[in-house]
Amino acid sequence: MSRKQVIQGGARGGGPRADDTGCPILHVDMDAFFAAVELLDRPELRGRPVIVGAAGARGVVLSATYEARRFGVHSAMPMTRARRLCPSAVVIPPSHGKYSQVSRGIMELFQSFTPLVEPIASDEAFLDVSGAGRLIGSPAVIAELIRRRVREEFGVTCSVGVASSKFVAKLASRQCKPDGLLVVPADGVVEFLHPLPVAMLWGVGERTESALTRLGIKTVGDLARVPPATLKRELGQAAGAHLAALAWGRDERPVTPHTPDKSIGAEETFASDVHDPEVIRRELLRLSERVAARLREGGHVGRTVSVKLRRSDFTTITRSRTLREPTDVAAEIYATACDLFAAAGLQRVRLRLVGVRVEGLRPVEGVSHQLKLGERDLGRREAELAADKAVRRFGPGAVVPASLVRPRFDEMDL
């Protein structure tokens, strides 16, 4: 096993043979996931700096290989800055459907080890393997099996933290990236935590870090030595109590299996501000198509359609409408989105971003579709389901509305 795969011993934890007694929580985090999936189709780019993201002036980095990260590139960074930092990088536009497909397979793999899987993003999840020990092995053994199967079955790598709590497991997976496994023994949590920068704690953003710095707090150990009453006075009751507990590794949150999505949406940041209503409506159509496809893919329908409209001065306006019946049909979502756009009175206002979202989701099973007056038995929904089959067979863009057969804007999912 390479040195990249395991961080050995000492205060920072240990490899697969470290004592994992009382450490049933795993945090599995894919390594540069979007970029890794793209390299499956572009193996000639392995070892080179690669950035996944929209290439426009307002695009952002969605993922970057570790070769690009050495130049300071990271996710959520403006693409213009990333290109300045790493001009030799290869930029690949995102393929969200491809990432979703691989993510679903990986999550199903996790569930073959334990039903207690809590996805927190498409590329990471918590697992509680306390009930899998007798059949499979100890938490560290399960972690190594997961790493091996992810690599063999999906061609990508992941890093796994093993600990007694979700908070510590997530920190452990971060410490052993990329392609690593780190066990933090239950009796070694404080030794692991206290040398770490306080900014690594869950809930410490820029403002909180600045407040802690003013108190002379730089490490988690520094934080642990501050009386909780002082933290509550300086940061507020909730934040102070929260950080005081984390500084000693106390985190009682259980692993909660995946809960159904409450909403599905997509949004678009334009390369330059747009004030043409026809361009806005065309973008609303494209977003409605994407949202509807994701609803059908997940077996959902929803009743409430909302639009998000951000002006050039960053003022954001949202409008929503609840439909009489739940839907997963793009035509219905689009018609409602256009009505909401018109009602907002922004037809000639310069916009930098628009978004479409469907809320109030429920499973499509058991939802009957009432035909409207004059509507044919086989209508828009059947046509869109047929289009879904074509897309699955021939790839994204196989079937699109005629008005969208033109150069597309850079895109980013919510």
Annotated binding site for Mg(2+), which residues?
A: 29, 123
Host H or E run for residue 174: helix 166-175
Q: How far apart are CA 67 and CA 92, in angstroms?
A: 15
Which residues of 78-226 form beta strands (DSSP E)? 90-92, 117-121, 124-128, 158-163, 181-183
Q: Which of 187, 197, 149 shows the shortest CA–CA distance to 28?
A: 149
Vertex 413 angle, CA 407 and 414, to 5°: 145
Residue 293 buriedness (CB in 10 A; 0-12 / 13-18 / 19+): buried
43 residue type, one letter: P
Enter the tokens of residue 333.
């979502």
Q: Partners of 161 in the beta sheet?
A: 27, 182
Among the listed residues 38, 67, 118, 124, the single catalytic one is: 124
> Which residues contribute to the annotated binding site?
29, 123
Q: How far apart are CA 239 and CA 241, in angstroms?
A: 6
For the chain, the first-to-last Cα distance in angstroms comes to 38
With beta carbons less than 8 A apart as the criterion, state whether 361 and 261 touch.
yes
What are the DSSP calls for 224-283, one per residue?
HTS-HHHHHHHH-HHHHHHHHHHTTT---PPP-PPPPPSEEEEEEEEEEEE--HHHHHHH
Beta strands 181-183 and 158-163 are parallel
Checking phi first, is residue 411 left (phi over 0); if not, alpha (psi -120 to 50) or beta?
A: beta
Host H or E run for residue 110: helix 96-111
Which residues of 37-193 form beta strands (DSSP E)? 50-53, 61-64, 90-92, 117-121, 124-128, 158-163, 181-183
267 flagged as catalytic:
no
Q: How far apart are CA 41 and CA 92, in angstroms?
A: 11
With beta carbons less than 8 A apart as the criterion, state whether 194 and 219 touch.
yes
Q: What three-state secondary structure class fits 370?
A: coil
- Kindly list the catalytic residues: 124
